[in-house]
Amino acid sequence: MTNTPTQTPTGPAGESQAVGGNINPSDNKFTNWLTHVLSDLGKNGIFIALVAVVVLFAILTDGILLRPQNISNLIVQNGYVLVLAIGMVMVIIAGHIDLSVGSVAAFVGACSGVFAVHWGLPWWLSVILSLGIGALVGVWQGFWVAFVGIPAFIVTLAGMLIFRGLALVVLGNANIGSFPTEYRALGNGFVSNVFGLSEEVDIFTLGIGAIAIVLLIVQQLRTRTGRQKYGQEVEPMVWFVTKLVLVSAAIGWFAWSLAQYKGIPVTLIILGALVLIYSIVMNRTVFGRHIYAIGGNRHAAELSGIKTRRVDFWLFVNMGVLAALAGLIFTARLNLAGPKAGDGFELEAISAAFIGGAAVQGGVGTIGGAIIGGLIIGVLNNGMSIMGIGIEWQQAVKGLVLLLAVAFDVYNKRRSGGR
């Protein structure tokens, strides 16, 4: 019996075709699009979690969560946590922890009360002196961590006790208030009606939102063009445009909500400046790359010539300044420096960093992730308060969210082959 050779069918142009059907190019395009979508969703899981939490509590609170006044209050009430989260995620990326930030915030807030109220110094001088004290606190703790070699956990645990005690000494176990109007603007002020218009919706706030959208689109287009120029893979145009539209819509809605209330909170302006500055530091400077390298493998970083002690030292100086700023914002919001200020701040900042994707072992984390983590905590607090849930259950829920976030990080590392 003679075997007849099997021939591969050819198309009109002589091209090979698979037996059993043709390969549809549109299937490959859809597969590529779906791959990019799933990849982006995986990379931005924390942002999706924030959206899910907001939608959940918007439903459970009958829309109260998304009212303009409440949106503004979310920023004002959680501003100090977000400021602390920026410094904390940098410390965690380098493989350290800081348990003293709440006590430092209370201590600096007490000092600012003495400067502005008891001594009658100008508000701006009180702010500068207070930030200087925060820097000195960072120098103190950074010295023990970086140059003496005591673990940051021990140093900052001691600092938590030391500066809480000093705060009580400065206050004399009494409250200090009331602060100058300009000082209070740090925590309660708004920028609105800049053009002198009397409309119910603030035009200036809407203008800032429009500028933010334009800058976002320009930045994303430049990034995409740059990747194409160097032959790097880019996402399908449909998905690229879809993401831009969704993010732009979110920014527009946020600006519209603020414009309907009192305008842009001063706290948001401070926070926006910090996010911009520290994102550049972490992503585009040598210092930022050194922080990631130290957290990834300290020994390898030292062998490569990175001055790890110097980086550690300045990390804690920076953390001291940001803790001081958080203390000023919190004191200004309450218009009061009291003995209970700063309680639990360190736990909320650490939770924000870990929920935002920082790795327990160090080397992983972003400023944006920490901000989103802090916002998740803020939405949880605000939503449960609106629903009338007691503080004991609020603490339990936040603890569970933190545990799940860290468990997810550990799971991802094991799945990728890490230990």
Question: What is the C-alpha to C-alpha distance for residues 365 and 121, in angstroms, rounded to an integer?
Answer: 40
Q: Which segments of the chain have a pLDDT < 50?
A: 1-2, 4, 6-21, 418-419
Q: State pLDDT tens for residues 323-345.
A: 999 999 999 999 999 888 888 89
The DSSP bridge partners found for residue 16 are 10
Question: What is the C-alpha to C-alpha distance for residues 207 and 259, in angstroms, rounded to an integer?
Answer: 10
Written as six digits, the tokens of 252 are 């527009």
CATH fold, domain 46-192+262-413, is ABC transporter involved in vitamin B12 uptake, BtuC (1.10.3470)
Written as six digits, the tokens of 6 are 């099997």
Q: Are 121 and 107 in contact (CB under 8 A)?
A: no
Q: Closest by alpha carbon to 146, among 386, 308, 330, 262?
A: 308
Q: HEC profile for 166-184? A: HHHHHHCCCCECCCCHHHH
Q: State pLDDT tens for residues 10-20.
A: 444 444 444 44
Cα-Cα-Cα-Cα dihedral sign, residues 385, 391, 397, 399 = positive
pLDDT at 1: 47
pLDDT at 359: 86
Cα-Cα-Cα-Cα dihedral sign, residues 103, 105, 109, 111 = positive
pLDDT at 17: 45
Domain residue ranges of the chain, discontinuous segments joined by +: 46-192+262-413
Q: Closest by alpha carbon to 317, among 153, 160, 91, 115?
A: 91
pLDDT at 288: 95
What value, to the nearest 5°, has the Cα angle with vertex 111 and ends 99 and 391?
Answer: 50
Residue pointed to by tokens 């009430």: 77
pLDDT at 200: 77
Residue pointed to by tokens 């300044």: 321
Question: What is the C-alpha to C-alpha distance for residues 163 and 320, in angstroms, rounded to an integer?
Answer: 12
CB-side exposure of 164: number of CA atoms within 13 Å?
18
Calculated CA dihedral for residues 400, 401, 404, 406, nearest 10 degrees: -110
pLDDT at 232: 80
pTM higher than the cut 0.85: yes
